[in-house]
Amino acid sequence: MALRRMRSNRDRWRAALLVAALAVVGCKRTPEETSSPAAGTGPAAGGEVVATYQGGQLTSGQVSQELERLPAPSRAYLAAPDRKRQFVENMVMNDLLLAEGKKAGLDRDPDIDRQVADLRKRLVVQRVMRQYQTPPTISDEQVRAYYDQNVALYSTTQIRASHILVKDEDTAKQILAEVKATPEKFADLAREKSTDSSTARKGGDLGTFGQGRMVPEFERAAFSLHPGEVSDVVKTQYGYHIIMVSERKDGEPKPFDQVKEQIRATLRNQGLQQRVQEHFDALKKEASLKINEDALARLAVPGPGAVTPPTTQPAKPAAP
């Protein structure tokens, strides 16, 4: 019985891998390679003929190209002769299914055309974004200056804080006025109005934390507060925060040598984000971008049953 279970698990793993391999072949081969069953006869796809079938052939070069696109563990698994044979058969099957689809007119399906166009657009945007992903060089002098100006950010101090997060500054200012008028209602306001759902149900409570857990703008404001104090409106890439500190345990500043590489990484990320944002702003200005606020307000967002994932977004650090 145990042997049967082992074989069953192995067969399921083999089937899953082969399906994945077939998906790689279907997704990763270029339009030129998949335009006809006999495609791929250029120098890069040359070599011995591994398989022939009606209307086409498959060379060792073509198979090698597809194998190289797989992750290393999958390539190691496919080294066995029977698995390698199945991989080759799947490549042929991919072309045969493509030919079948063309006969049915699926290659002219408007929905497929739309998905291909969307994928092409995202790939182009990703390629353009690569040129903005090189972080700036940060000198030792810049690192030291930042440390000297922000010693409080690099200590063993621990605080317990709560926050209210909203998307626009006007709403944040209104909430701040309410908090200042009745600080004891901070938790109630967080439950009612904070867009950070994970902390809103806890009255905005973030728990106890030290340096390096939150984004710099948030930390700078939070660690400047004493118990019972409330911050002004704090802007981060996540929106607008109102922060209240309930507990504070002061510690000692960390030595510069202990935190200098952490600071360097922070300054690199800040410089990179600033460079990207400046470029985005310049593009919008050049394009004379104007948003019709009335039309935007009337624009309905699809309900949960019809959600389409957003397209390209710059990477962001973890939210507080």
* Statement to judge: residues 82 and 162 lie in one domain: no
Tell whether 244 is covered by a domain. yes
- Provide the pLDDT for residue 40: 41
Mean pLDDT for 256-266 is 93
Q: Whole-number mean pLDDT of the chain?
A: 83
* Statement to judge: residues 91 and 185 lie in one domain: no
Strand locations in 167-275 (E): 205-209, 234-236, 239-249
Mean pLDDT for 152-176 is 93
Better-scored residue on pLDDT, 264 or 308:
264
Domain end position, chosen among 114, 130, 146? 130
CATH number at residue 242: 3.10.50.40
* Statement to judge: residues 105 and 177 lie in one domain: no
With a cut of 70, say whether residue 100 has pLDDT above it. yes
With a cut of 90, say whether residue 144 has pLDDT above it. yes
Mean pLDDT for 238-257 is 93
With a cut of 60, say whether residue 27 has pLDDT above it. no
Domain end position, chosen among 252, 278, 297? 252
CB under 8 Å to 46, separation ≥6 — which residues? 59, 61
pLDDT band at residue 12 using 50, 70 and 90 as cut-offs: very low
Q: What Rg do the C-alpha atoms of the chain give, in angstroms?
A: 28
Tell whether 4 is covered by a domain. no
- Domain extent for 169: 155-252
* The two three-digit tokens of residue 168, written as one number: 């626009």
* Statement to judge: residues 20 and 98 lie in one domain: yes
Pairing outcome for strands 234-236 and 205-209 = unpaired
* Statement to judge: residues 113 and 160 lie in one domain: no
- Provide the pLDDT for residue 150: 84
117-145 b/e (C-beta count within 10 Å ≥ 16 → b): eeeeeeeeeeeeeeeeeeeeebeeeebee
* Statement to judge: residues 22 and 122 lie in one domain: yes
Q: For 170-217, what is each residue's pLDDT tens digit?
A: 999 999 999 999 999 999 999 999 999 999 999 999 999 998 889 889
* Statement to judge: residues 117 and 182 lie in one domain: no
Domain end position, chosen among 200, 230, 252? 252
* Statement to judge: residues 44 and 108 lie in one domain: yes
CB under 8 Å to 241, separation ≥6 — which residues? 163, 164, 165, 172, 218, 221, 231, 233, 234, 235, 320
- Provide the pLDDT for residue 249: 93
Tell whether 295 is covered by a domain. no
- Provide the pLDDT for residue 7: 43
Tell whether 64 is covered by a domain. yes
- Provide the pLDDT for residue 304: 60
**Number of independent structural domains in the chain:** 2
